[in-house]
Amino acid sequence: MKVAPPQFDYLCTLLRKRTGVCIDETKQYLVVARLMPIVNQRKIPSLETLIDRMRQGTDPSLEKDVLCAMMTHETSFFRDKAPFEALRGIIADLVVRRAAERQLTLWSAACSTGQEPFSIAMVLNEHFRELLATWRIRIIATDFSEPILARAREGIYGELETNRGLSPALLKKYFRPLQGKWSIAQECRQLVEFRCMNLNDTWPMMPLVDVVFLRNVMLYFDPPTRAALVGRVRRVLRPDGSLFLGGAETMIGIDDGWSRVVHGGCSHYTPKPRR
């Protein structure tokens, strides 16, 4: 099954314009798999009719549902492991540099169902517990998709999710059993502020941040969109702050205004001083 070219082109253009996410003809199967549930749920005669209705703009919720459905929310606790070990070292340095203000802000900029910001919260609880009692520490976690954020706010995970990346010790320490699932403990939950935010649109007011996790989202964007995004990230990142990208993402060919810092098994970026 394929979506007819006019509707497919309209969807690709809209997705790129609104969210930055790029798809092409090779993703026909993905469009069908992701949008057929909406077609069935709304009892719409066909995929083309769904896209035509979106185009008419009479149902604003339809466009948002379609755009959210087109996104990939793949994530896991402590994804790739090494960035979270590097984060521990970065926070240890920041503890010294921010001693006067006693404040740290971390941003998980495409947080999906919450595993990334809650992993950051576990790092803080494991290694910087005394800091949590005396400093103002915030983890801002944002994503485009409201339904996905609703899941993240719940902080409840099934066995398949907790089996990915969590050691039995961390599971026992930071999760409570709840009706066959696992609910994230209050000491992690209270650190995270979830907000809906489109990285490719006007941003709400953001505080200056010390560390940004912008992981596994830029790979869906084209190079100009990536360049614009890291430029905006730079404006909210403290001059000595750190930016983490995903394992398959790089700053090469995007923006040469960043220094790559290799730390253990991974690298992160810090802004080069402006000349």
Ligand X SMILES: C[S@@+](CC[C@H](N)C(=O)[O-])C[C@H]1O[C@@H](n2cnc3c(N)ncnc32)[C@H](O)[C@@H]1O
Instruction: Report the interface residues with ligand X, using CB under 6 A.
Output: 19-21, 71-75, 79, 110, 112, 116, 143-145, 148, 197-200, 215-217, 246
d(CA 239, CA 261): 14
Tell how far CA 155 is from the center of its chain. 15
Closer residue to ligand X, CB minimum distance, 105 or 115? 115
Q: Which two tokens stand for residue 138?
A: 């915030």
In one letter, which amino acid is 108? S
Beta carbon nearer to ligand X, 47 or 67: 67
**Closer residue to ligand X (CB): 1 or 30:** 30
Q: Shortest gap between Cβ of 26 and ligand X (angstroms)?
A: 18
C-beta closer to ligand X: residue 75 or 267 = 75
Nearer to ligand X, 145 or 162 (CB): 145
In angstroms, what is the minimal distance from the CB of 219 to ligand X?
8
Q: Give which of 114, 109, 106, 115 is closest to 77, Cα–Cα.
A: 115
Q: How far is the CB of 2 from ligand X (least distance, A)?
A: 24
Q: Are 266 and 247 in contact (CB under 8 A)?
A: yes
Find how far residue 19's CA is from the centre of its chain: 13
Q: How far is the CB of 134 from ligand X (least distance, A)?
A: 29
| CB-neighbour burial class of residue 118 (10 A; exposed 0-12, middle 13-18, buried 19+) | buried
The least CB distance from residue 226 to ligand X, in Å, is 11
Nearest to 126 by CA among 174, 158, 191: 174
